């Protein structure tokens, strides 16, 4: 946190006259209020006086640094005053104070006042610096003096790094589909790179636990630029009229420096919100059609995962606690406890396809698309066609499953897009009934006609794919496990990884899914667990291949790998991709192949080592994990050269 970032011309007073200490603090608070950093002037002033009662902040040599902290402060800030005639401040050396800095720290910023106090204290020990401040002819001279002294003392070299007044210079939003690792890694990297260069930044994360560190209206208003590094849709209307860089979350991890360079430059396009949930406005980076499709798909997947994970694990527990011998045909429902888990888990799992379709449609068509997509997903799951609608029909419904839900999501979204264009021609007086009447009625009707019409075709494709997977055995099954396991390591959370994961998850939705479907999911998960574990093993047993910092962070990958968080390997892969990636891909492929060979099955799409109890053939699954991770670690040790 730089001192110059917390000051602005409205918060600096020169040639101030003060009667006494109370008057000096009052005038400093008035300057702070002009800067717009505080929400409640009286409450903030009370906090400053309360601090003074604990002991004087007059540190001697004519300098005082009073400070206040609490909910009354919205944004960290400083005000400064030069008092030529001096004022009695009860200073430690008894001398009058003629240079005063007042600090404002929000309650959430635990250390901001300590950071500023530390920097100020070091700078103010320089008599030449304080003399220049006291002799400043204008507020611009005062700020320039602080800026130059700070650069000279702390090595700040970016001459243009003053933030926009009253806030963070750069704001950012990071989000990935699952919200587990990419989101927070991108945020941390952006924060670290900005800190290295003395640039103030605040990053909002939209992860699995919801939005954290949310950006406020005041911060957005005063920011110079906003970086939106996301792989799913986030709230964009709030950035209307601001310079915005829209990019993928991976760039926040790998290209943080370039993003910050662009953000502090003057050529970032102004963003204009068009009312669409996937709107990219006039951002300087236009997304390709493929990336938009990927974002829509991942928006559905990210909302679907909690239902699949929660429901899948409860269903797996039902089989774990049941007794197969009571009634093999009713396995999973033979005991009261098993029936409870199976019923609750089944209900949660049943939402998977509607939620997937609903949120894909919402990503494309905004809120009106949600209901249309949900209905399409239910119709796909039920396998309804024109020939089996009647209760007496002899035609058995065939679910179009995951493929049908994907189709329903995209069709539902674009139905709303088309309806919007058509209804734009209606009188303005009908605007209010569009979202509550026209969009849902017309959208659901059209969706019903489309899905009931295409369900036979998609259902046949879905059935054919499942029959093909069920027929796989021997070498072909092992090869599939190797391919899926390897894909989980190719880009560690990117499109290849997500494609393999979505394919594995889709198998869990198959009606009357058999061992083959569960084995595919097991191979996918083990492939994603290997990269972090391989790196952790390599940093433990081949220390000379890594720097000290890499060895320290390598140990964390034991937890990441066992938790099925592949992204823990990204920093290592990014720093040495030609050696790390091949090692991880081969290790994951071996683990996936062995998982298939050992016929290990998994009914839950996540959990890592924590769901080992519900994995069929668990000991052999652990053996496959150990072998794959060890092979990856050994290959990495061979390919990487010892560090000097």
- The alpha helices in 20-178, defined as continuous H runs, are 21-35, 41-54, 112-124, 127-134, 139-154
Three-class secondary structure of residue 243 per DSSP: strand
Look-up: residue for tokens 């198998």? 507
For the chain, the first-to-last Cα distance in angstroms comes to 34
Q: Which residues are within 8 A (CB) of 493 and not within 5 positions of it... i.e. 6 or more apart? A: 176, 178, 181, 182, 566, 567, 570
What is the distance between the alpha carbons of residues 502 and 508, in angstroms, rounded to a whole number?
Answer: 10
Q: In the annotation, is 182 catalytic?
A: no
DSSP 259-279: HHHHHHSS-PPBP---S-TT-
Q: How many CB atoms lie within 10 A of CB 553?
A: 16
* Alpha-carbon span 581 to 25, nearest angstrom: 60
SS3 200: coil
Would you say how long the chain is, in residues?
644
Q: Is 393 left (phi over 0), alpha (psi -120 to 50) or beta?
A: beta
Please indicate whether residue 67 is annotated as part of the active site.
Answer: yes
Measured CA to CA, the distance from residue 215 to residue 238 in angstroms comes to 10
Say if CB 492 and CB 573 are below 8 A apart. yes
Classify each residue of 460-496 as buried b or exposed e, where b means 16 or more C-beta atoms within 10 Å of its C-beta: eebbebbeebeebeeeebbebbbebbbbbbbbbbbbe
Distance CA 130, CA 124 (A): 6
Report the alpha-carbon distance of residue 112 to residue 201 in Å, rounded: 13
SS3 label, residue 210: strand
Catalytic residue among 67, 113, 182, 606: 67
Q: Spell out the SS3 assignment of 437-450.
A: HHHHHHHHHHHHHH
Which residues have a Cβ under 8 Å from the Cβ of 52 and sit 6 or more positions away?
Answer: 21, 25, 66
Catalytic residue among 113, 145, 176, 538: 176
Residue with tokens 């001192």: 3
- Among 507, 447, 504, which residue's Cα sits nearest to residue 481? 504
Helix (H, G, I), strand (E, B) or coil at 75: coil
Provide CB contacts within 8 A for 343, sequence distance 6+: none
Q: How many CA atoms lie within 13 A of 306 on its CB side?
A: 11
Q: Judge whether 213 and 204 are in contact, CB under 8 Å.
A: yes
Q: Is 432 left (phi over 0), alpha (psi -120 to 50) or beta?
A: alpha
Strand-strand pairing, 63-64 and 58-60: antiparallel
Residue indicated by tokens 């603090």: 25
Number of neighbouring beta carbons within 10 Å of residue 6: 28
Nearest to 166 by CA among 269, 34, 296, 61: 34
Number of Cα atoms under 13 Å in the Cβ half of residue 261: 5
Please list the active-site residues. Answer: 67, 176
């Amino acid at each position: 946190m730089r001192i110059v970032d917390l000051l602005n011309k409205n918060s600096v007073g020169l040639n101030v006259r003060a009667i006494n200490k109370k008057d000096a603090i009052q005038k400093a608070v008035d300057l702070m209020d002009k800067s717009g950093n505080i929400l409640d002037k009286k409450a903030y002033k009370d906090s400053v006086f309360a601090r003074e009662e604990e002991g004087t902040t007059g540190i001697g040599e004519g300098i005082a640094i009073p400070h206040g902290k609490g909910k009354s402060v919205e944004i960290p800030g400083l005000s400064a005053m030069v008092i030529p005639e001096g004022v009695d401040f009860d200073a430690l050396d008894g001398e009058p104070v003629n240079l005063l800095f007042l600090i404002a720290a929000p309650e959430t910023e635990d250390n901001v006042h300590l950071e500023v106090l530390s920097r100020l204290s070091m700078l103010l020990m320089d008599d030449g610096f304080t003399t220049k401040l006291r002799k400043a002819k204008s507020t611009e001279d005062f700020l320039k003096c602080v800026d130059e002294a700070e650069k000279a003392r702390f090595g700040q070299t970016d001459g243009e790094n003053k933030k926009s007044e009253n806030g963070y210079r750069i704001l950012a939003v990071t989000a990935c589909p699952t919200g587990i690792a990419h989101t927070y890694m991108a945020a941390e990297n952006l924060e670290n790179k900005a800190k290295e260069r003395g640039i103030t930044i605040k990053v909002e994360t939209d992860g699995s636990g919801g939005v954290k560190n949310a950006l406020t209206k005041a911060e957005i208003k005063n920011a110079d630029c906003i970086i939106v590094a996301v792989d799913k849709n986030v709230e964009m209307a709030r950035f209307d009229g601001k310079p915005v860089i829209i990019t993928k979350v991976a760039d926040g991890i790998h290209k943080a420096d370039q993003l910050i360079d662009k953000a502090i430059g003057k050529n970032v396009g102004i963003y204009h919100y068009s009312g669409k949930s996937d709107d990219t406005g006039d951002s300087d980076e236009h997304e390709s059609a493929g990336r938009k499709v990927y974002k829509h798909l991942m928006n559905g997947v990210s909302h679907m995962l909690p239902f699949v994970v929660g429901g899948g694990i409860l269903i797996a527990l039902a089989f774990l606690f049941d007794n197969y011998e009571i009634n093999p045909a009713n396995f999973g429902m033979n005991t009261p406890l098993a029936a409870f888990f199976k019923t609750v888990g089944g209900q949660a799992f049943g939402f998977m396809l509607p939620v997937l379709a609903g949120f894909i449609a919402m990503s494309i068509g905004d809120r009106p698309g949600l209901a249309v997509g949900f209905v399409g997903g239910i119709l796909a799951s039920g396998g309804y066609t024109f020939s089996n609608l009647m209760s007496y029909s002899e035609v058995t419904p065939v679910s179009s499953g995951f493929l049908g839900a994907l189709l329903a999501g995209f069709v539902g979204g674009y139905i709303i897009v088309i309806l919007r264009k058509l209804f734009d021609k209606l009188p303005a007086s009908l605007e209010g009934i569009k979202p509550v009447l026209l969009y849902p009625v017309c959208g659901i009707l059209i969706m019903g006609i489309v899905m009931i019409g295409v369900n036979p075709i998609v259902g046949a494709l879905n059935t054919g794919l499942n029959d093909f997977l069920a027929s796989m055995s021997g070498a072909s099954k092992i090869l599939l496990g190797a391919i899926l396991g390897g894909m989980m390591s190719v880009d560690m959370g990117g499109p290849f990884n997500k494609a393999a994961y979505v394919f594995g998850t889709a198998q869990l939705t198959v009606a009357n899914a058999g061992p083959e479907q569960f084995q595919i999911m097991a191979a996918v998960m083990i492939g994603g667990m290997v990269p972090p574990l391989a790196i952790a093993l390599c940093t433990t047993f081949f220390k000379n291949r890594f720097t000290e910092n890499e060895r320290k962070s390598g140990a964390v990958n034991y937890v990441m790998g066992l938790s099925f968080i592949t992204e823990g390997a990204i920093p290592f892969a990014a720093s040495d991709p030609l050696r790390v990636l091949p090692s991880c891909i081969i290790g994951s492929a071996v683990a996936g192949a062995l998982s298939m060979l050992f016929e290990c099955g998994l009914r839950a799409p996540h959990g890592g080592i924590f769901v080992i109890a519900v994995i069929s053939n668990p000991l052999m699954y652990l053996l496959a994990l150990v072998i794959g991770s060890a092979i990856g670690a050994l290959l990495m040790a061979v390919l990487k050269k010892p560090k000097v």
